[in-house]
């Protein structure tokens, strides 16, 4: 058993409606009643309009709820934005920051991601900060340079107030939603590299920090990935919308 408690977070992205959510929550509840998940922390991250529904349906299950994005600003004339204080006020414990889709589709920079990490930690939220290289960057041998830039932007936060609430998710962009996962060994090498970057800000904090793998995690590859020494769980996209798949992945993490 690893010293860091496993964590599995489901990123629903922009997929949900009230009725299908109810089915998913009901299946998750009954699955959790059947199986002990004592050794894994579980989070679901639906779109903003459904956070309240998720909190209401999952309140007594031990499953925490997170948002998929947060504003770096505390308030103001920012139409469409949602602050960290609002997310915390609603009862969410978690937020995902810097997902590659937000970096590429919404133009979020490393500085934006760092500001969001700071804002969310400042409001007492747990943060999953995502990093990862594109296929072209990997093929050109730039993976470490890209990760260095992305991780270094926020890494100092692990040694600051609330730093123990900062989780990193390594999500190679070429593996997200493609069915093409990194091999366990390749992911482990990259996780070790990320932990070493964090350690520049404090060896003990880096050792305690959880680093999740994301990118086409399925029940079939979860155990192998989670058995790696520096892989502390997963950020799960597509498979988090299928209750049995998500529960099987959580079980794999609990057993790792």
CB atoms within 10 A of CB 72: 20
171 is known as an active-site residue: yes
Which range in 50-58, 134-142, 143-151, 229-237 contacts ligand PEP by CB under 6 A? 229-237
Count of CA atoms in the C-beta half-sphere (13 A) of 209: 33
Binding mask 127-166 for ligand PEP (x = CB under 6 A): ----------------------------------------
99 is known as an active-site residue: yes
Instruction: Say how far apart CA 228 and CA 224 lie, in whole Å.
Output: 7
- Contact between 176 and ligand PEP by CB under 6 A: the answer reads yes
Q: Which is nearer to ligand PEP, 92 or 205 (CB)?
A: 92
Binding mask 196-225 for ligand PEP (x = CB under 6 A): ------------------xxxx--------
Residue nearest to ligand PEP (CB): 237
Residue of 41, 99, 101, 137 marked catalytic: 99
Contacts 24+ apart (CB under 8 A), 50-58: 50/16, 50/18, 50/21, 51/87, 51/90, 51/92, 52/90, 52/91, 53/18, 53/21, 53/25, 54/21, 54/25, 55/90, 55/91, 55/92, 57/21, 57/22, 57/25, 57/29, 58/25, 58/28, 58/29
* Number of chain positions touching ligand PEP (CB under 6 A): 13
Q: Which is nearer to ligand PEP, 37 or 176 (CB)?
A: 176
Residue of 41, 108, 133, 171 marked catalytic: 171
Task: Specify the DSSP class assigned to residue 166.
Answer: E
Of these, 54, 182, 238, 243, which contacts ligand PEP (CB under 6 A)? Answer: 238
Q: Which residues are catalytic?
A: 99, 171
Interface ranges with ligand PEP (CB under 6 A):
11, 171, 176-177, 214-217, 235-239
């Amino acid at each position: 058993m690893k010293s860091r408690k496993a964590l599995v977070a489901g990123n629903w992205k922009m997929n949900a409606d009230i009725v299908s959510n109810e089915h998913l929550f009901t299946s998750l509840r009954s699955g959790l009643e059947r199986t002990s998940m004592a050794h894994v922390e579980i989070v679901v991250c639906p779109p903003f309009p459904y956070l309240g529904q998720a909190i209401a349906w999952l309140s007594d299950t031990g499953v925490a709820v997170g948002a998929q994005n947060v504003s770096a600003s505390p308030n103001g004339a920012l139409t469409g934005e949602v602050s960290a204080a609002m997310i915390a006020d609603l009862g969410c414990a978690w937020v995902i920051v810097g997902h590659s889709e937000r970096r590429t589709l919404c133009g979020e920079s490393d500085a934006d991601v760092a500001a969001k990490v700071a804002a969310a930690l400042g409001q007492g939220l747990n943060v999953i900060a995502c990093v990862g290289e594109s296929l072209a960057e990997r093929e050109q041998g730039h993976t470490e340079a890209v990760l260095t830039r992305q991780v270094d932007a926020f890494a100092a936060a692990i040694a600051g107030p609330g730093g123990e609430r900062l989780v990193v998710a390594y999500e190679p962009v070429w593996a997200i939603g493609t069915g093409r996962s990194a091999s366990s060994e390749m992911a482990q090498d990259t996780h070790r590299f990320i932990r070493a970057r964090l350690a520049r800000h404090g060896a003990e904090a880096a050792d305690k920090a959880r680093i999740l793998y994301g990118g086409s995690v399925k029940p079939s590859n979860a155990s192998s990935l989670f058995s790696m020494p520096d892989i502390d769980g997963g950020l799960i996209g597509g498979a988090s919308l299928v209750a049995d798949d998500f529960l099987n992945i959580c079980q794999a993490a609990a057993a790792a």
